[in-house]
Chains A and B, each alone.
Chain A
Amino acid sequence: MTTPTRILPAGDRALLVELDSEPLVVSLTERLRRTPVPGMEDVLPAARTVLVTTTPRTDLDEVRRALRTMTVDLEAHDHTGVPESEPVTIPVRYDGADLADVAGLLRMSRDDVIAAHTAATWRCVFIGFAPGFAYLSCGDDRLTVPRRAQSRTVVPAGSVALAGGYGAVYPRSSPGGWQIIGTTDSPMWNLDAEPPALLQPGRRVRFVDEETL
């Protein structure tokens, strides 16, 4: 399979690889983690792109060629040879302040929202906004809601939220505009752990209703 890929300049120490789907982003990220290209310093996957940063004086033309080769036969969820780890389980109390609003926006009952949220297998696509803030996606388009019209100045750590087609858990108290549907005690960010973020790009996640445990 040939993947339409653009490799865009991002200065003299980085390249931005643009892919045509989210699963391809996850695949390229995993490939780069297994086989770093020469001079690579770090990799940052996002919605449709992977930023590859390099150490000073790396020959970016060489990196570009290596990335080109790597993306030619890239396929979605390419886990060849790497057994996929079990999903991370996150127990949730579905007591979020926006749960009723989310149900209204989705024309679903509160219980249907919870059922859809717990039935889906989510995947961490990228981390952004704050340390450990994982953007999770799932195949279920029914859970797509907009951000709140008014952002909250304080969203407590452990808030389980939805917005813009993504799910997330706030790793620490911060301002935020996502719709909060529940709360978890699972620590998303722990500086004493390696890596400190519970979820890494590519990692799968299942939410479980605490009431059913």
Chain B
Amino acid sequence: MSELEVLETGPLSLIQDLGRPGYLSSGVGVSGAADRGSARLANRLVGNDENGACIEVLMGGLALRARTVTTVAVTGAPATALLDGIPMGHASVIVMEPGQTLRLQYAQVGLRSYVGVRGGLAVPDVLGSRSTDTLSGIGPEALKPNDVLPVGTWTRNFPNVDVAPVPAMDPGPLSVRVIGGPRDDWFTNPDALTTGAWAVSPDTDRIGARLNRHAGAPALQRTSEAELPTEGVALGSIQVPPSGQPVVFLADHPISGGYPVIGVVADEDIDRIAQARPGQLIRFTTA
């Protein structure tokens, strides 16, 4: 079996696929890649099924050494990939010869890069998925230097592209569509969500993007401080605790909560929130 050695991990490198749907009633969320589109693309570029297990790299800083010929692709946040020091194209097919090292520099824009590996990472699955759920502690542990990652075998033909055109990631304000509810009636001024801009807070993670009000735009006011009975929350839910500082729930969000959800980000726009860096501005628009 082919293997990849982990030399360095940067701040956080995790194994992710598209998650483990179907276990909500056991208390387990879907988890999976925070930016699902980039994980899918990384897999397609190396000829895998879109659900192949890849590496989600926070900010960059990952270094891998190939033990055998290994085909990889880096997507998501455009951390420059160096193969034995030579810059490689973003979202392109990279062939690593035995002993060669792939090193991701720190990304200047975006938050999470994805390293797809031809054959997928063949770590044991948990409940049908190889993703790491940082909230419930299910799935493979975060990568550490000196880990050796097994690579699966591949059966499909190689795809007919070696570079995928991807739009440049925008460090500017993101415009994100939101669907009101289920608890927008818990706010005196639900329209304040779509008024002005929000800034992504530094304590944002895979559980959620925490938001602060930007430049004095109106705060969200609840109609009462009554407690909401625990209810299920969907991916992309914008939950508003009594502080009025919302959290947009991302891949490892709790499956239920007791604070009202004012709106839910459109599924297609969730990947972009997962790539928003601390300080980046977000404007919500009504879907």
A191 within 8 A of B: yes
Interface residues of B (CB under 8 A from A): 21-28, 126-127, 136, 138, 179-183, 229-237, 254-256, 261, 264-267, 287
A196 & B26 in contact (Cβ 8 Å cutoff): yes
**Can you identify 7 A-B contacts, CB atoms within 8 angstroms?**
A10-B182, A45-B25, A47-B230, A47-B231, A48-B231, A133-B27, A134-B27
- A16-B182, A47-B229 as given contacts; A11 in contact with B234, CB under 8 Å: yes
A191 & B22 in contact (Cβ 8 Å cutoff): no
Within 8 A of B (CB), among A25-48: 29, 41-48
State the CA gap A113–B117 with chains docked (Å).
57
Q: Which residues in A have their C-beta under 8 angstroms from that of B266? A: 11-12
Shortest Cβ distance from residue A132 to the other chain B in the assembled complex, whole angstroms: 5
A4 within 8 A of B: no
- A12-B287, A44-B256 as given contacts; A49 in contact with B126, CB under 8 Å: no
Shortest Cβ distance from residue B36 to the other chain A in the assembled complex, whole angstroms: 10
* Interface pairs A-B: 10 shortest CB-CB: A51-B232, A11-B264, A8-B182, A44-B232, A47-B229, A127-B27, A197-B26, A14-B234, A9-B181, A44-B24
- A9-B179, A12-B267, A46-B256 as given contacts; A127 in contact with B26, CB under 8 Å: yes
State the CA gap A29–B21 with chains docked (Å).
17
- A45-B25, A127-B25 as given contacts; A10 in contact with B256, CB under 8 Å: no
Q: Which residues in A have their C-beta under 8 angstroms from that of B21? A: 41-42, 53
Considering the complex, give the chain B residue whose CB is closest to the CB of A124: B25
Which has the most chain A C-beta neighbours within 10 Å: B21, B27, B231? B27
Shortest Cβ distance from residue A134 to the other chain B in the assembled complex, whole angstroms: 8
B179 & A12 in contact (Cβ 8 Å cutoff): yes
State the CA gap A109–B267 with chains docked (Å).
53
Considering the complex, give the chain A residue whose CB is closest to the CB of B269: A12
A195 within 8 A of B: yes
B232 & A200 in contact (Cβ 8 Å cutoff): no
Q: Which residues in B have their C-beta under 8 angstroms from that of A47? A: 229-231
Which has the most chain A C-beta neighbours within 10 Å: B23, B183, B256? B256
Shortest Cβ distance from residue A124 to the other chain B in the assembled complex, whole angstroms: 9
B233 & A130 in contact (Cβ 8 Å cutoff): no
Within 8 A of B (CB), among A162-195: 171, 191, 195
Considering the complex, give the chain B residue whose CB is closest to the CB of A52: B232
State the CA gap A50–B25 with chains docked (Å).
11
B28 & A46 in contact (Cβ 8 Å cutoff): no
A42 & B26 in contact (Cβ 8 Å cutoff): no
Shortest Cβ distance from residue A104 to the other chain B in the assembled complex, whole angstroms: 24
